[in-house]
Structure 1
Amino acid sequence: MWTFIRQRSIASLISLVGLVVAVFFLSRLTGDPAALYLPSEASEEMRQQFREVHGLNDPVLVQFGRYVWDLLHLDFGDSIRKARPAFDVVAEAFVWTLQLALITMVLVTVAAIVVGSLAAFRAGGFFDRVASLTSLIGASAPDFWVAIVAIVVFSVGLGWLPTSGTGTVWHWVMPVAVLFIRPFGLIVQVVRGSMLTALSSAYVKTARAKGVKSRPIIFVHALRNAMLPVITVIGDQAAALLNGAVVIEFIFGFPGVGKLMIDAILQRDFNVVLAAIMITALAIFIMNLLIDLAYAALDPRIRH
C-alpha cells in the first residue's frame, strides 16, 4: 500500500511541476501588467519602475528561476492587484469553493445512490423510466445555460432568489442547485448500471431465495460490490467542482477560486493565477489519493 501511495505521489508531483511550468510561461503571454494597472498617460519611467518593483524587468527564465526558488520555500509571492500574499488571497477564495463543492457533493452522492439503486431494483418500471430520463437530461444540460435560465426564472421573473453573493442561505440555493444537476445525472446512470450487474449476481439471488428483505439486498449486499465504478465518477465530479466550477461561480458572482482565477487572468495577476492552480491541483491530488484508498477499503484484492 505504501509503495502504491509513493508511486502515485511521484506521478502527481511530476504532473504538478509540468502544470506550473506551462502556466508560468503561458501567463506571461497575456500582456504587460504595467499597461493594465497604470493610467494611459503614465510615462515610460513610471512603467519601468512598476516592472522593477514587481520583478517583471528580468528575463522570463530569471523570473521563473526566482519563482521556483520562492516556491520551494512555500512563498507564492504577492498579488499585484491586492498587494497581499497570493496564498492568502487564494486560500480565502478556496474556502468558499470547498464549502460549495462539499455541500453539493454530499447532496448529489446521497440522492444519486438512492435513486440509482431503487431504479435498478425496479428495472423497467415507472420509477426506473422516470429516473433514467431525468438523469439523462441532467447529465446533458449545459451548466451555464441552466444557470442563466435559473436567474431569469427565479430571480428576474419570480423574484424568489438573489442573483449573486453569499449573504444568506438563499444566495446558495441556485449555485448549489445548478451544480447539483449534472453530477446527479451522471452518477445516477453509473449507479443504476453497476447495481443492475450486482443484483443479477449469484449471491443476491441466494439472498432473495433465503427470504432476505429488499432493503438489505439493495443497500448491504449489492451496493458495496457496485461502488467501485461509482466512486470513480464521484471523484471525477468532485474534482471538477474543486477545480472552481469556474463558469457557475462567475455567473452567480460567487467569491470562489474559479471566479478569482478568471479575475486574476484578466488582471494579469500572475502570482495569484499560479497559486490558485497549485492549491487546486494539490487538493485534487489528495482527493484522488483518498479515492484510491477507498478502493482498497471496498475491495481487499486491491490492497495486494
Structure 2
Amino acid sequence: MLKLLSRRMIHSLTSLAGLFILVFFLARLTGDPAALYLPIDATAEMRQQFAEQRGFNDPLLVQFWSFLSSAVHFDFGESLRQSRPAMTIVLEAFPVTLTLAAISMGIAIVLAIIIGSLGAWRPGGLFDRTANLLALLGASTPNFWIAIVGILVFAVWLRILPTSGMGGPIYWILPVAILVLRPLGLIAQVVRGSMISALSSGYVKTARAKGARTQSIIFVHTLRNAMLPVITVAGDQAAAIINGAVIVETVFGFPGIGKLLIDSITYRDFAVLQAAVLLSAVAILTMNILIDMAYGLLDPRIRVN
C-alpha cells in the first residue's frame, strides 16, 4: 500500500508542477490588467507605474520565478480587484463549492447504488428500462442547458424556487439537482453492469438456493464485490463535479470557487486565478489518492502492487 501511495504522490506532484506552469503563462494571455483597472484616458506614465508596482513589466521568466518562490510559502499575492490576499479570498469561496459537491455526490452515489442494484435484479424489466433511459438522459445532457431550463420552469413559470444567489436550503435545490444528474446516470450504469456480473456468481446462486432474502443478496453478498469499478467512476465523477460547479455556480450566482474562477479570468485577477486553480487541483489530487486507498481496503491484492 505504501509503495502504491508513494507512486501516486510522485505522479500528483508532477501533475501539480505542470499545472503551475500552464496556469501562470496562460493567465497572461487574457490581456493587460491595466486596461481594466485604470481609466480609459490613463497616460503611459500611469500604466508604467501600475505595471512596476505589481511586477508586470518584468520578463515573464522573472515573474514566474517570483510566483514560484512565493507560492511555496502559500503566498499568491494580493487580488487586483479586492486588494486582499488571494488565498484568503479563495479559502472563503472554496467551502461553498466543497459543500455543494459533497452533497451532490453523496446523493448521486446513494441513488445510483439503489437504482443500479434494483435494475440488475431483473435486467430488461420495466424498472430497468425506465432507469436506463433516465440515466442516459441525465448523463448526456449538458449542465448549462439543464440549469437554464430549470430556472425557466421552476423559477420563472412555477415561481417555487429562486433564480440565483445563496441563502437558505431552498437556494441549494436547483444547483444540487443539476449537479446530481450526470454522476447519477453514469454511476447507476456501472453499478448495474457490475451487479449483473456479480449476481451470476456461484456464491449468489448458493445464497438464493438457501432462501436468502433479495435485499440480503443484493446489498450484502454482491455489492462489495461489485464496488471496485463503481469507485473508479465515482472518483472521476467527483472530480468532474468540482469542474461542473464552475458552470452551475456561474449560472446560479453561487459564491463558490467556480464563479470566482470565471470572475478572476474576466477581471484578469492573476493572483486569485492562480490560487483558485492550485487549491482545486490539490483537492482533486487528494481525492484520487483517497480513492486509491479505498481500492486497497476493498481488494487486498492491490496493496502489494
TM-score relative to the length of structure 1: 0.98
Structure 1 SS opposite 2:223: helix
**Is the Cα–Cα contact under 8 Å of residues 78 and 271 in structure 2 kept in the other structure?**
yes
Partner Cα separation in structure 1 for residue 197 and residue 31 of structure 2: 54
1:57 CA drift (Å): 1.4
**Residue 42 (structure 1) aligns with:** 42
**4+ residue stretches of structure 1 with deviation over 4 A?**
none
The amino acid that maps onto 2:287 is: M
Q: Distance in 2 between matches of 1:242 and 1:287?
A: 11
Question: What residue in structure 2 maps to residue 199 of structure 1?
Answer: 199
Aligned to 2:142: 142
Structure 1 stretches lacking a partner, 5+ long: none
Counting matched residue pairs gives 304
2:283 is paired with a residue whose SS is helix
- Deviation of the 1:289 alpha carbon: 0.5
Partners of 1:178 and 1:246 lie apart in 2 by 13
Residue 243 of structure 1 deviates from its aligned partner by 3.0
Q: Deviations over 1:114-160 (max 9, x none)?
A: 11001101212111111111111111111111111111111111111
Residue number in structure 1 paired with 2:70: 70
Structure 2 stretches lacking a partner, 5+ long: none
Supply the AA of the counterpart residue of 1:52: E
Please give the per-residue CA displacement for 1:155-191, whole angstroms capped at 9, x wherever unaligned.
Answer: 1111111111111111111000111111111111111
Name the counterpart of 2:95. Answer: 95
Change (3 A) 1:244 1:62: farther
Question: Superposition pairs for residues 241-280 of structure 1, below 5 Å?
Answer: 241-243=241-243, 245-280=245-280
State percent identity of aligned pairs: 61
User: Does the Cα contact within 8 Å between 1:253 and 1:259 map onto a contact in 2?
Assistant: yes
Query: Residue 243 of structure 1: SS of its match in structure 2?
Result: helix
8 Å CA contact 2:4, 2:303 repeated in 1: no
Distance across 1 between alignment mates of 2:280 and 2:244: 8
Residue identity in the other structure for 1:70? S
CA contact (8 A) 1:247 1:258 kept: yes
In the other structure, the counterpart of 1:229 is 229
**Pairwise CA RMSD:** 1.0
1:244 is displaced (CA, Å) by: 5.4
TM-score, structure 2 as length reference: 0.98
Q: Secondary structure at the match of 1:25?
A: helix
